[in-house]
Chain A
Amino acid sequence: MDTKFIRNFSIIAHIDHGKSTLADRLLELTGTITERQAREQFLDSMDLERERGITIKASTVTMYYVRDGQQYTLNLIDTPGHVDFHYEVSRALTACEGAILVVDATQGIQAQTVANAYMAIDAGCQIIGVINKIDLPAAQPDTVAQEIEHVFGIPAAECLWISAKTGDGVGQLLDAICDRLPAPPDRSDEPTAALIFDSQYDDYRGVICYVRVFSGSLWPRQRIRFIGTGAIYQIVEIGQFRPDMVPCDRLTSGQVGYVVANIRRIADVRVGDTITDDLRPTDKPIKGYRPAVQMVFSDFYPAAQTDFKRLRSAFEKLSLNDASFSFVPQNSPALGFGFRCGFLGLLHMEIIQERLERECNVDVVQTAPTVSYEILLKDGTIKRIDSPSELPDMSKVAELREPMVRLEIITPIDSIGGIMKLADARRCKLLKTDYLNPQRVILHFKAPLAEIVYDFYDQIKGISHGYATMDYEFIGFEASDLVKIDILVNGEPVDALSSIVHRSVAEQRGRRLILKLKQTIPRHQFEIPLQVAIGGKIIARENIKPFRKDVTAKLYGGDVTRKMKLLQKQKEGKKRLKSIGSVQIPQEAFMSVLEASKGQ
């Protein structure tokens, strides 16, 4: 098949700038779905995505469009739109030759606009600038076009003005996609190489791989090999997303579609891997994929120890749909067997946690997320730890290093003061200030990830009345004066409550943490001392007083039903408690570690 009339592209945008609405309009205009079929925002298919109004997983769809009497095949690869999902965006962009950069005409360039656009440029994509929501009274398309030219060097005159909501200008955008974006190169004679940019597990069909064919072709009954994992399968079905899966006879160089090969071993499929023909393999696996960098870690323990196996299979299933989180078995002296999980960021963690409970029905107790640290030992070796409990004896440690990020905040100028104050309290260093226009500015910082990962964005939103946006990217580890805070509950150290913080705030955070714990750990029959230790030295103590009286005064016939129901309910609630010694600690307590770092 001639690749001249294929266009592979993504839509990239800051959250809520109208990416999903635009995708819906493209589907309608190309007749891929009818207006009646069009559920709002077709591509956000996960319940969770709809609820949160964000795209988590990249989806894909093939459309046909006639331009000057010629039929074009347009493959839209949707990208996620949140700060945590850089990796997912990069996977999608690698499969494309072009990108549509959507900017809200009322909001202008935001932090993720910048981050996503640079990623597209890195991936070698041709970019079409699109200014959306021109139907709104507050739209300032001229100003926004100037910003786009100023920041990305895309001439303001080349930006398209559209309203994804009304459909205004979307036809011209389709024309521009055909005219301005490059066609994929035709390498159909070379050996097969197809990139897996996403996957999905189907209970009946096994793993479904989302692929972009770069060279050669794929066909049913072909013996294929996954270069990275070495697994060999025979293709059962290939096809395209229209947007439902429609089988076809062949996927050739330049095309996008899916592969079903009765794959039951989910470990055989790695997103980023290359599929080739087993009999005529390529010697050029596709490059350009950055591995996912997990920066936030948290322990997940099954609330009931007997659920450990169920939790494992739940993680295995989720990891198939989301290649960007990791899970490693972990045994905590305090909490028993569980998993240490790595995430791209905090939102990513919340999503996995919710999907775990919603889709897999496993009750989990989760520890407060921490970032990953690097340690230089005195013998010269370097070690990565992603849990405070892994910190070795400090006498062996030459240097503790914490992850640093490049942080960009775009804000109206009247909020600069408040943001700078917060940034200062969080040890962020201002590197540069760029004016987008006289009212808005990009602040470039270098910041410790640990300080911004949790509530920083919320704080910034609060300070700027919702106007500021931020994005960050990991740049490396840097030596820092860090100490470990240990918490002793009833005299026993609880590893899951330990944290690593900067020495300057350690004592304050420790004190705040035990006050918080005092509120979240219920009273017991006995007094529970809570202690904070820094470097093995106890620096603060609080006591949870025992309860003295807890008894129903009247229990006669009419009260029996009520009381028995209550007891049963309490028993259910106990599922989310963990016993440490004879102390029962509820889920919220483990999250207190985060609360203690809240505010300034």
Chain B
Amino acid sequence: MSCHDPKDRSRVGLYVHIPFCQTKCHYCSIYSEPIGVHDPARLCRAIESELNQYKDVDLRTAYIGGGSPTILPAELLVGLVSKIKQTWPTIEEFTIECNPGQADERVLQAIKAAGVDRISIGAQSFDQQELVLLGRRHTVADIYQAVRVARRAGLGNIGLDLIYAIPGSNLDTWYRNLCAAISLGVEHISTYALTIETGTAIEAAVAAGKLEPIDEETDCRMYELAIDVLESSGYQQYEISNFARPGFACRHNLGYWLGGQYIGIGPAAASYWQGRLTRNLMDVRGYTHAIEAGLPVICESEPVSDRQVIWQTAVLNLRMRQGIEIVDFAEKTGHDPLDLFGHVIDRYVRDGVMAVEEGRIFLTRKGMLIADYLLYHFVL
């Protein structure tokens, strides 16, 4: 079930982080700031300036995420998209994240015209109560509206994000959520188990006993339900949390799991570039000031050793349904994964959590449920 061109791994992905939100969602630990106190135009100028540093790189995918990119004033967003598409006309997949409630038809038309061909809608849930609990500002109706608007704007590749294992939910409510997403006919669906991150409002509510986390058994069954329902509706699972109609897997995201390089632009964005894992300053003002002063914006930078490349590639590959392509892996790293991880793989195959078939090493459905535990044994 190879859903990508093997050459993708040599291509570099571009990620642009727009760290603005109207308000913070209750589950979110990603870096963002309220837009009100900042000058978005100034940030966009800084981002464009950072982009220029990479103008000679052969980029094939781009992804503008956040935060909420669609919170930017239309002309800034369109300008940013145009700038990227003009700098790298060879971009083959250009995604933008969109919040339901911020989907304006004219804006979507404009960014489509400027080069965006894929939109990822942060629906999260089709249950109004759950949206409130998550701290989302949009309504269920906004989701339907967003998908309609995106279609009218001519976007033929729409992805929807869903969150499950929300306190108070059950298999039944989750099933209805899945059906609602499917009924919209989108090309791509991501399902994420709610992760209770430190420092979030949900974590505080759980700690205070106001919310009861979903028990592990139900969580598992929700995950398995998602796989069953989505696969039987024509969405192939291609990664632990991602499903797509044939040909619609997100090529940009596949780049991460294939072990490819990526350049992150904007405050707090992370890169894997030229053998280093780096992260930009996690502060809008600090970032813009640094760019304007001609100073570096990278605040964390770590070299990735050859050894780390090997296990990291294995660990990332195994998140995909297709797993590790043995020949490709050997070509890229110079090591046969069956030699390197032989004893771990043998044990996992015996336990039924991993399989080796048709030149690929991959996690079974049972294995995907405990991927973190399993993958940790691949660390060299």
In the complex, chain A residues whose CB is within 8 Å of the CB of B315: 564, 567
Q: Which of B193, B256, B268, B353 contacts A556 (CB 8 A)?
A: B256
Let me know if B241 and A553 touch, CB within 8 A: yes
> How many angstroms from the CA of A525 to the CA of B312 in the assembled complex?
23
Q: Which of A553, A557, A564 contacts B195 (CB 8 A)?
A: A553
> How many angstroms from the CA of A561 to the CA of B308 in the assembled complex?
12
In the complex, chain B residues whose CB is within 8 Å of the CB of A561: 270, 277, 279, 300, 302
B206 interfacial contact with A, CB 8 Å: no
> How many angstroms from the CA of A551 to the CA of B300 in the assembled complex?
26
B238 interfacial contact with A, CB 8 Å: no
Q: Which of A550, A553, A558, A560 contacts B373 (CB 8 A)?
A: A550
Let me know if B253 and A556 touch, CB within 8 A: yes
Chain B interfacial residues counted at CB < 8 A: 45
User: DSSP majority for the B interface?
Assistant: mixed
In the complex, chain A residues whose CB is within 8 Å of the CB of B15: 557-558
Q: Which of A549, A560, A568 contacts B379 (CB 8 A)?
A: A568
Indicate whether A525 sits within 8 Å of B373 (C-beta atoms), given known contacts A547-B216, A557-B264, A561-B279.
yes
| Binary interface encoding of chain B residues 339-380 relative to chain A, with 1 for a CB under 8 A from any of its CBs, else 0 | 000000000000101000000000000001111110110010
B219 interfacial contact with A, CB 8 Å: yes
Let me know if A557 and B262 touch, CB within 8 A: yes
Let me know if B241 and A558 touch, CB within 8 A: no
Let me know if A564 and B193 touch, CB within 8 A: no
| Binary interface encoding of chain B residues 215-229 relative to chain A, with 1 for a CB under 8 A from any of its CBs, else 0 | 011011001000000
B272 interfacial contact with A, CB 8 Å: yes
Q: Which of B195, B256, B368, B379 contacts A570 (CB 8 A)?
A: B379
> How many angstroms from the CA of A560 to the CA of B375 in the assembled complex?
13
In the complex, chain B residues whose CB is within 8 Å of the CB of A557: 13, 15, 256, 262, 264, 269-272
> How many angstroms from the CA of A243 to the CA of B194 in the assembled complex?
65
Let me know if A553 and B272 touch, CB within 8 A: no
Let me know if B223 and A555 touch, CB within 8 A: no
A554 interfacial contact with B, CB 8 Å: yes
Let me know if A560 and B220 touch, CB within 8 A: no
Let me know if B379 and A555 touch, CB within 8 A: no
Let me know if A558 and B371 touch, CB within 8 A: no
In the complex, chain B residues whose CB is within 8 Å of the CB of A547: 216, 370, 373
In the complex, chain A residues whose CB is within 8 Å of the CB of B256: 555-557, 560
- Which residues B127-163 have CB closer than 8 A to chain A? none
> How many angstroms from the CA of A557 to the CA of B16 in the assembled complex?
11
Let me know if A558 and B216 touch, CB within 8 A: no
Let me know if B277 and A551 touch, CB within 8 A: no
Q: Which of A525, A551, A560 contacts B270 (CB 8 A)?
A: A560
- Which residues B263-289 have CB closer than 8 A to chain A? 264, 268-272, 277, 279
Q: Which of B240, B268, B308, B371 contacts A564 (CB 8 A)?
A: B308
| Binary interface encoding of chain B residues 194-238 relative to chain A, with 1 for a CB under 8 A from any of its CBs, else 0 | 110000000000000000000011011001000000000000000
In the complex, chain A residues whose CB is within 8 Å of the CB of B271: 557
B112 interfacial contact with A, CB 8 Å: no
B88 interfacial contact with A, CB 8 Å: no
In the complex, chain B residues whose CB is within 8 Å of the CB of A564: 277, 308, 312, 315
Q: Can you list 24 A-B pairs, Cβ within 8 angstroms, ordered by A? A: A525-B353, A547-B216, A549-B219, A550-B371, A551-B368, A552-B240, A552-B371, A553-B192, A554-B195, A554-B241, A555-B257, A555-B319, A556-B253, A556-B256, A557-B13, A557-B256, A557-B270, A557-B272, A558-B30, A558-B269, A560-B312, A564-B312, A567-B375, A571-B376
Taking A548-B369, A549-B369, A561-B277 as known contacts, 8 extra A-B pairs with beta carbons closer than 8 A to each other, sorted by chain A number, are: A550-B371, A551-B240, A551-B371, A555-B240, A557-B272, A560-B277, A564-B312, A567-B379
Interface residues of A, Cβ cutoff 8 Å to B: 525, 547-558, 560-561, 564, 567-568, 570-571
Q: What are the nearest 10 A-B pairs in CB distance?
A: A553-B192, A551-B371, A558-B270, A550-B373, A548-B220, A571-B379, A553-B193, A550-B370, A561-B277, A550-B372
